[in-house]
Structure 1
Amino acid sequence: MKMRLNHYTANPEVYRAMSQLERHVRESGLDRIVYELIKIRASQINGCSFCLDMHTNELRKLGETEQRIALVSVWRESPCYTDKEKAVLELAEAVTLISKGGVSEELFNRILTFYSEKETVDLIFAINLINSWNRIAITTGMFPGCLDNA
């Protein structure tokens, strides 16, 4: 397999700008496990193999169990996630698939029972950021291992 385009080298300024936003979200105080769960769920929905590989590996490095990594796509039926994590995964799905039904008042209010307004904005940015990364990776033809020799 071959990438269509290496966006890192083709336009380093845009990559740096995205990386700065990534750094801001990562340093916002958002729980790292929750952040990686968001990235995995959005990447599953969007079909981004590069990001899915990266973020499942990241969760492993953080000490997450194989069960919790494997069951992200079926979080509703999985007792291994907390109600707080389930609310975030539902928000990640709703924002990723926003054109299909938006974000309900009920879901938004449930998020606010677990997170402050500032934290809720951090979640929204985190979800939007991984969706952007997914779209870049898919469009440019990224796949697991594509940067190993780049």
Structure 2
Amino acid sequence: MQARFNYRQADPQAFQTMLQLEKFVHECGLDKKLIELIKIRASQINGCAFCLDMHTQDARKLGETEQRIYLLNVWREAAVYTEAERAVLALTEAVTEISKGGVSDALYEQVRKHFDEKEYVNLLMAINTINSWNRLAIATGMSAPYNR
């Protein structure tokens, strides 16, 4: 895919706003590896190669295993994720694909077994932020590989 234009240069203020959301997510207290699992799973669903490339690299730098990264798209069948991670992955899918049924009461209760109200909001912010990044990258034609 050929980049259509550089949205960062086209509107630096919009980019800075996104960076502030990202800063919030990274400073909210959620586990950094969990945040990367959210980013990878949402990016898989959305088909964002640029973000998948970036966040699999970031996850590896945090010590995430290849096995857990590779199995994310089939997390329901893989025994390598904790109950709390499974709840977050289900929430990530439900929010990313919100029009398919929203977040059920059962899913909400499943997540709340592991996370308090503030953490629940922080999870939503992490999910919403990566979905926004995915949409920016896809709509402007950003492609992998991501090189630092």
Question: TM-score scaled by structure 1?
Answer: 0.95
Does structure 2 retain, via aligned residues, the 8 Å contact 1:2–1:146? no
1:121-145 CA distance string (max 9 Å, x none): 0001110110000000000000113
Matched to 1:144, the amino acid is: A
Deviates more, 1:109-118 or 1:138-147: 138-147
Shift in Å at residue 85 of structure 1? 0.3
Structure 1 residue aligned with 2:67: 67
Structure 2 residue aligned with 1:125: 125
Matched to 1:54, the amino acid is: M
Matched to 2:128, the amino acid is: N
1:5-53 CA distance string (max 9 Å, x none): 1111111111001101110111000100110000000000000000000
Matched to 2:67, the amino acid is: Q
Which runs of 5 or more residues in structure 2 are unaligned? none
Aligned residue for 1:24, secondary structure, equals helix
Tell me: CA distance 1:146–1:107, structure 2 relative to 1, closer, same or farther (3 Å): closer
Aligned residue for 2:13, secondary structure, equals helix
Aligned residue for 2:113, secondary structure, equals helix
Structure 1 residue aligned with 2:108: 108
CA RMSD of aligned residues (A): 1.2
Q: Is 1:137 the equivalent of 2:117?
A: no
Which structure 2 residues correspond to residues 1-150 of structure 1 after superposition, within 5 A?
1-145=1-145
Does structure 1 retain, via aligned residues, the 8 Å contact 2:40–2:52? yes
CA distance in 1, matches of 2:88, 2:143: 26
CA distance in 2, matches of 1:143, 1:29: 30
Does structure 2 retain, via aligned residues, the 8 Å contact 1:96–1:127? yes
Does structure 2 retain, via aligned residues, the 8 Å contact 1:3–1:146? no
Matched to 2:22, the amino acid is: E
CA distance in 2, matches of 1:73, 1:86: 12
CA distance in 2, matches of 1:57, 1:114: 27
Question: TM-score scaled by structure 2?
Answer: 0.97
Which runs of 5 or more residues in structure 1 are unaligned? none
Does structure 1 retain, via aligned residues, the 8 Å contact 2:53–2:146? no
1:57-104 CA distance string (max 9 Å, x none): 001101111000100000000000001000000000000000011100
